[in-house]
Amino acid sequence: MAFGVKKSFFGKLQERIGDAILLRPRIDDALMDELEEILITSDIGMATSMRIIEQLREDVRQQRLAEPSEVESRIAQIVESLVDKGERLKMREDYPLIILMIGVNGGGKTTTIAKLAAVYKDMGKSVILAAADTFRAAAADQLEVWAGRVGVDIIRHGEGADPSAVVYDSIQAAKARGIDVLICDTAGRLHNKKNLMNELEKMNKIIDREYAEAARETLLVLDATTGKNAVSQAKEFGSAAEVTGIVITKLDGTAKGGIAITIADEFDLPIKFIGVGERIRDLAAFDPRAFAESIFAGADDGALLASGAEDDDATPPVVGAHDSDGVPSIVGENDSGEQSPEADTDETDDGAAVSVAEEPAEKPAAGKEKKRWFFRS
């Protein structure tokens, strides 16, 4: 049931911390140094790792902790406090809402757009998608495949069109049709970085001018497997757009999840969602406690997603596939994290494949999970 069969970040970090503690009879400087080393080498980043250990030392002093075993839960609590951005973890709940999805190529923007569109559709919201990644020939085609699957409309122009013009037309369409949620796909790569950032600024200006009344979210999509590169991406995109939240993708089966802690800490940005697979339901609301506890949850990474899933009144963190009784459960059937063999694949002019993972035949029924699970009231 876990979303990664390999030992992922959580299992691995837990194991390393567990080993360090097991070998030490007491809490001392040597243990602290070793823990710091473990955090740094788990992609958590130097500054953030040092902050965690500094806080740990403080807690040990103040709470007179003596047993190394007590250290584990303290680290989890510290991590939780670093990633818990309170209200900012929620999506805006006023409509019309326009969501701009940004991030480098291959990060998972288009896939995440499809996942989000499905969530909003399940909530009964009307959705359209804007194919404002006009740089890559296959980008709009890929978005269109997803739009068809989810059952939402897409606004697209030809390849090489001005992305801002697509945004402009999408806004007019959204207004004319009284659409609740407009989600804009953007290019992850242009001829050069400066172009990319200029385009983003231009799109934002269009939205400011044409859709001032809409609520805004700008989600930066970061691929967990890129580790520390995600930090420089956050820096760059953060300077070109007002990022309101992060989506960390590919947390299934990666040993590099520590980046989530670094981004939340260094940039003071809320992680709103995590991507845990290639399929439409492989999206989870980011849950700080579940995330932190997963570090020590035992070998099964499923704990990251499990919190609250069986509690009918709690906000389930996952838009899940269903057990036979219709209760949302943990997703991640694509355990290998690899492209599904039955994926739809098309060759395009530039040789790039339009590749969209196959969906399981079972479609989630309308029902309990329709509640606004990711808005944590």
Chain contacts with ligand GTP (rule: CB under 6 A): 103, 105-111, 133, 136, 139, 188, 221, 249-250, 252, 275-278, 282, 337, 355, 357
Cis status of the peptide bond prior to 96, with omega within 30 of 0:
yes
With respect to Mg ion, which residue has the nearer C-beta, 108 or 257? 108
Is residue 166 within 8 Å of residue 155, measured between CB atoms? yes
Least Å from the CB of residue 110 to Mg ion: 3
Pairing label, strands 353-356, 245-249: unpaired
With respect to ligand GTP, which residue has the nearer C-beta, 108 or 328? 108
Is residue 56 within 8 Å of residue 74, measured between CB atoms? yes
With respect to Mg ion, which residue has the nearer C-beta, 110 or 249? 110
- Sorted by sequence, the CB contacts under 8 Å of residue 198 that are 6+ apart come out as none
- From Mg ion, ligand GTP, none, which one binds at residue 115 (CB under 5 to 8 Å depending on kind)? none
Cα–Cα distances (Å) from 139 to 41, 170, 187, 323, in that order, read: 35, 16, 8, 34
- From Mg ion, ligand GTP, none, which one binds at residue 111 (CB under 5 to 8 Å depending on kind)? ligand GTP
Other Cβ atoms closer than 10 A to 305: 28
From the list 136, 131, 111, the residue with the least C-alpha distance to 173 is: 131
Cα–Cα distances (Å) from 46 to 86, 188, 277, in that order, read: 24, 28, 28
Alpha-carbon span 52 to 295, nearest angstrom? 14
- From ligand GTP, Mg ion, none, which one binds at residue 233 (CB under 5 to 8 Å depending on kind)? none
- Position 226 contacts Mg ion (CB under 5 A): no
- Position 218 contacts Mg ion (CB under 5 A): no
Least Å from the CB of residue 293 to ligand GTP: 21
Least Å from the CB of residue 377 to ligand GTP: 26
CA 200 to chain centre: 20
Q: Among all chains, which residue has been given the structure tokens 């999509």? A: 221
Least Å from the CB of residue 253 to ligand GTP: 7
Least Å from the CB of residue 325 to ligand GTP: 27
- From Mg ion, ligand GTP, none, which one binds at residue 11 (CB under 5 to 8 Å depending on kind)? none
Least Å from the CB of residue 340 to Mg ion: 18
Alpha-carbon span 320 to 329, nearest angstrom? 5
Alpha-carbon span 139 to 158, nearest angstrom? 11
> By CB under 5 A, what part of segment 85-114 binds Mg ion?
109-110
- Position 164 contacts Mg ion (CB under 5 A): no
With respect to ligand GTP, which residue has the nearer C-beta, 131 or 182? 131
- Position 14 contacts Mg ion (CB under 5 A): no
Q: What size, in residues, is the chain?
A: 377
With respect to ligand GTP, which residue has the nearer C-beta, 103 or 320? 103
- Could you list the residues that contact Mg ion (CB under 5 A)? 109-110
